[in-house]
Amino acid sequence: MKSEVSSETRFIVERWTPLSAATSIVAAALLVMLAFGPLLFGANIVDNLTNLFIYVILSVMWNALAGYGGLVSVGQQTFFGLGAYFAIQLSYYGVAVYPALLLGAAVAALVSLPISALMLRLRAGEFAIGMWVVAELAHLLVALDPLINGETGVSLLALNAFSPNTRRDDNYWLALASMAVLLAIVFALLRGRLGASVQAIRDDEDAATSVGVKVMRGKWIIFFLAAFGCALAGTLWLATSITFQPNTYFGVQWAAYMIFMVLVGGLGTFEGPIIGAVIFFLIEFFFGQTGVWYLIGLGAAATLFALFLPRGLWGTIEDKFGLRLLPVGYRLRMLGPQRANTD
Amino acid sequence: MQDTAASSVDSGLLVGAGVYKSFGALSVLEGVNFTLAANEAVGIVGPNGAGKTTLLNVLAGAYRPTTGTVYFEGSDVTTLDAAERCRIGIARSHQIPRPFGGMTVFENCFVAATTGGNLSGQRAYQCTVDSLEQCQMLHIANRRAETLGLLDRKRLELARALATGPRVLLLDEIGGGLTDEEANHLVETIQIMRSRGLAIVWIEHIVHVLMRVVERLVCMDAGRIIADGKPEAVIADAAVIDAYVGGKAAP
């Protein structure tokens, strides 16, 4: 993963800089330190950090889908809800509760396959709204299941077998591990061949086809990944809250949160959505109790960002200072005296 | 007609045989037989609405012909889509440039090299750098493509097509909207590609630019080929003059 020097050594394609190497070491160290969280922090902080990890997952997934894949979806709550729903079902049919959480996400990801076969034929706004319709449909269908008791909902009772403290720590570790693994997967995918292909699809689908990109395959992989990630976030949410009410899990507010985090952080950057999730988490932490004003504030902030910082916080920093901490792209550097690179 | 189509399949690198294309009630191509020989450069001219771009789209795989067959190197490729045709060596540029705006110039060509060209690692990098160099874009390799002006967007279309490692290049009005000087730069680039054995089909309104590269000219009108031959002869053809000046479809 180092910079690669050509055989003629006329140029270097830079994929990794000393700064990005340092960043990844710091990030890894941070993750390791976070792993000791339950031993260091009080219950309240552990709970809050667990929520933060779930937000990061949602944000990064929506960014992979929309920022890199160009698939702007207002319906990712479909998978958030379905993941939780399948986890409850699996647990009900006797699967041990923590495996059920992971399997539930996997089943929801499988359900994304037939959904993607239909939805990925739609483009742009049609896809965005179509996904919302899918979310509402999933909501209605799940509420029909007698196991769920309609909108009253149901609790994942098997979790009560664990003491609240054990559960809190386990949830924390599960959320942290999920976040770390998903971040690593997204990073690897975006740095690999698929990353450039899906960005080409995002920017111009027909032009991507004409240079040989298999458009459906690229969209499908990113859709599947985002479905799994959002579903996993849903099952983690279920693990922390225990109760499942269709209204809460399939609510469009999840889509709004994801969009907020990604827009504020920086659509189509790897670092941005993580920053956006932290900001969202802080806003919620300090203003979450103010009810309607909190939502109005979120909406206003997202609007202001879209108008004045369309590339988000990190996108703006990246443009201004050329700073790339965890680069997924390619920089060409020509070697030799007269080949100074302008940009 | 059947015979000529069959024989041209063997002789031609890229062949459209008996191609009809209609969109609903609108018939755009009405029985076009087009053959491009290996290492040949053919220009296509004709008034607006003659079906030139549609023919190019059929050859590139962006459109499936209503009836008719497309052959490449003797095999039937009619059912292959544009991505698959690119992978076997048919590359194209778009009339209105379609850069991948959020990616750098380098990344634009790199995608083409890794997907259309099926290269990886250092060979993909080398191919990308070579095509950028040929199109004089190396100095702006790290610019985001959405910041480019028209000439550079046109160059990028060319560089991206080149990076796929094509045998045939389909150019759709790559000189359109450029000054003569800018167009001349592109012509030089295309002449270099030509000298390396790339076969070219080039749609262009600017005939004097076209004449510097192509050795055969095809004139289309109302979905048909109305003249085909040496450029000077086609330009002088009565039907061609009538199509342009008379503004009516040739009989």
Q: What is the pLDDT of residue B251?
A: 45
Q: What is the pLDDT of residue A8?
A: 55
- Is B86 in contact with A210 (Cβ distance < 8 A)? yes
Q: Each residue of A80-97: b (16+ CB within 10 Å) or e?
A: bbbbbbbbbbbbeeebeb
Residue A341 lies in a domain: no
What is the Cα–Cα distance from B83 to A213, expressed in whole angstroms?
A: 6
Residue A18 lies in a domain: yes
Q: Which residue carries 């050594």 as its tokens?
A: A9
Q: What confidence category does residue B85 fall into, taking pLDDT thresholds of 50, 70 and 90? A: very high
CA distances from A97 to A84, B22, B107 (A): 12, 59, 45
Residue A1 lies in a domain: no
Query: What ipTM was reported for this prediction?
Result: 0.88
Question: pLDDT for A119-157, tens place per residue?
Answer: 999 988 899 999 999 999 999 998 888 888 888 888 888
Q: What confidence category does residue B79 fall into, taking pLDDT thresholds of 50, 70 and 90? A: very high
Q: Count of CB atoms within 10 A of residue A288's CB?
A: 11
- Contact residues on chain B for A342, CB-CB shorter than 8 A: 139-140
The residues that bridge with B72 in the sheet, in sequence order, are B14, B75
The HSE-up count of residue A85 (CA atoms within 13 Å, CB side) is: 32
Most A CBs within 10 A among B64, B100, B123, B157, hence the mutation to make, goes to: B100
- Is A214 in contact with B138 (Cβ distance < 8 A)? no
- Is B122 in contact with A329 (Cβ distance < 8 A)? no
The residues that bridge with B41 in the sheet, in sequence order, are B200
Question: pLDDT for A12-33, tens place per residue?
Answer: 888 888 888 888 899 999 999 9
What is the Cα–Cα distance from A196 to A327, expressed in whole angstroms?
A: 12
pLDDT higher than 80, residue A273: yes
CB A229 within 8 A of CB A57: yes
Q: What is the pLDDT of residue A117?
A: 92
Question: pLDDT for B128-156, tens place per residue?
Answer: 999 999 898 999 999 999 999 999 999 99
- Is B104 in contact with A199 (Cβ distance < 8 A)? no
Q: Which residue of B has its CA nearest to A203?
A: B100
Q: How many domains does chain A have?
A: 1
> Closest Cα to residue A75, out of A123, A136, A125?
A136
Q: What confidence category does residue B1 fall into, taking pLDDT thresholds of 50, 70 and 90? A: very low
- Contact residues on chain B for A208, CB-CB shorter than 8 A: 100, 111
- Is B103 in contact with A214 (Cβ distance < 8 A)? no
Q: What is the pLDDT of residue B10?
A: 64
> Closest Cα to residue A74, out of A124, A121, A117, A118?
A124
Most B CBs within 10 A among A63, A190, A210, A343, hence the mutation to make, goes to: A210
Give all domains of chain B, ordered by start, each with its CATH number: 2-98+166-246 (3.40.50.300)
Q: What confidence category does residue B9 fall into, taking pLDDT thresholds of 50, 70 and 90? A: low
Question: pLDDT for B25-59, tens place per residue?
Answer: 899 999 999 999 988 999 999 888 899 999 999 99
Q: What is the pLDDT of residue B148?
A: 93
Q: Name the helix (H) or strand (E) containing A304.
A: helix A292-308
Stronger pLDDT, B42 or A343, i.e. the higher one: B42
CA distances from A145 to A132, A160, A251 (A): 21, 23, 18
- State chain A's maximal CA–CA distance in angstroms: 74
Q: Which residue of B has its CA nearest to A214?
A: B83
Token digits for A275? Answer: 């920053």
> Closest Cα to residue A246, out of A169, A163, A143?
A143
**Residues ≥6 apart with Cβ < 8 Å to A276:** A59, A260, A261, A262, A263, A264, A265, A266, A312, A313
Closest partner CB to B164 (pick from A10, A211, A339): A211
Token digits for A117? Answer: 């076969």
The dihedral sign for the CA sequence B147, B149, B150, B156: negative
Q: What is the pLDDT of residue A304?
A: 87
What is the Cα–Cα distance from B51 to A320, expressed in whole angstroms?
A: 46
Task: Kindly report which listed range (A106-110, A174-178, B7-11, B116-120) carries the lowest average pLDDT score.
Answer: B7-11
Task: Kindly report which listed range (A77-91, A222-236, B77-91, B234-248) carries the lowest average pLDDT score.
Answer: B234-248
Task: Kindly report which listed range (A53-62, A257-266, A293-302, B184-193) carries the lowest average pLDDT score.
Answer: A293-302
What is the Cα–Cα distance from B109 to B92, expressed in whole angstroms?
A: 13
- Is B60 in contact with A332 (Cβ distance < 8 A)? no
DSSP assignment of A312-328: HHHHHHHHHH---SS--
pLDDT higher than 50, residue B112: yes
Helices (H), B164-245: 180-195, 207-211, 231-236, 238-241
Residue A237 lies in a domain: yes
Q: What is the pLDDT of residue A343?
A: 44
Distance of CA B212 to the CA centre of its chain: 16
Distance of CA B19 to the CA centre of its chain: 17
- Contact residues on chain B for A11, CB-CB shorter than 8 A: 125, 129
- Is B143 in contact with A343 (Cβ distance < 8 A)? yes
Q: What is the pLDDT of residue A337?
A: 53
Q: What is the pLDDT of residue B3?
A: 45
Residue A193 lies in a domain: yes
pLDDT higher than 60, residue A321: yes
Most A CBs within 10 A among B115, B126, B146, hence the mutation to make, goes to: B115
The answer, for A7 touching chain B at a CB cutoff of 8 Å, is yes
Backbone angles phi, psi at A310, to 5 degrees: -60, -20
**Residues ≥6 apart with Cβ < 8 Å to A131:** A73, A74, A75, A76, A78, A119
- Is A210 in contact with B91 (Cβ distance < 8 A)? yes
CA distances from A131 to A58, A116, A252 (A): 16, 10, 11
Q: What is the pLDDT of residue A109?
A: 95
- Is A213 in contact with B87 (Cβ distance < 8 A)? no
The answer, for A212 touching chain B at a CB cutoff of 8 Å, is yes
Question: Mean pLDDT score of chain B, rounded to an integer?
Answer: 88
**Overall average pLDDT of the A88-108 stretch:** 92
pLDDT higher than 70, residue A6: no
pLDDT higher than 80, residue B248: no
Q: What is the pLDDT of residue A57?
A: 96
Question: pLDDT for B160-201, tens place per residue?
Answer: 999 999 999 999 998 888 888 888 888 888 998 888 889 999
The answer, for A199 touching chain B at a CB cutoff of 8 Å, is yes
Closest partner CB to B140 (pick from A212, A213, A342): A342
> Closest Cα to residue B67, out of B29, B110, B14, B12?
B29
Q: What domain range is A92 assigned to?
A: 7-334
DSSP reduced 3-state for B21: strand
Question: pLDDT > 90: what percent of chain A?
Answer: 55
Most B CBs within 10 A among A198, A211, A269, hence the mutation to make, goes to: A211
Token digits for A234? Answer: 């849903």
**Residues ≥6 apart with Cβ < 8 Å to B201:** B14, B36, B42, B44, B56, B59, B168, B169, B170, B171
Q: What is the pLDDT of residue A160?
A: 81
Q: What is the pLDDT of residue A2?
A: 43
- Is B100 in contact with A208 (Cβ distance < 8 A)? yes
Instruction: List strand residue ranges (DSSP E) for A130-186, in order.
Output: 154-155
Closest CA of chain B from A13, distance in Å: 7
What is the Cα–Cα distance from A210 to A332, expressed in whole angstroms?
A: 24
Q: What confidence category does residue A325 fall into, taking pLDDT thresholds of 50, 70 and 90? A: confident
Q: Which residue of A has its CA nearest to B112?
A: A211
- Is A212 in contact with B115 (Cβ distance < 8 A)? yes
A250: domain CATH number is 1.10.3470
What is the Cα–Cα distance from A139 to A136, expressed in whole angstroms?
A: 5
Q: What is the pLDDT of residue B2?
A: 44
Give the A:B interface size as CB pairs under 8 Å: 122
Helix, strand, coil % over all residues of chain A, rounded to 5: 75, 5, 20
- Is B120 in contact with A203 (Cβ distance < 8 A)? no
The HSE-up count of residue B61 (CA atoms within 13 Å, CB side) is: 26
Q: What is the pLDDT of residue B141?
A: 92
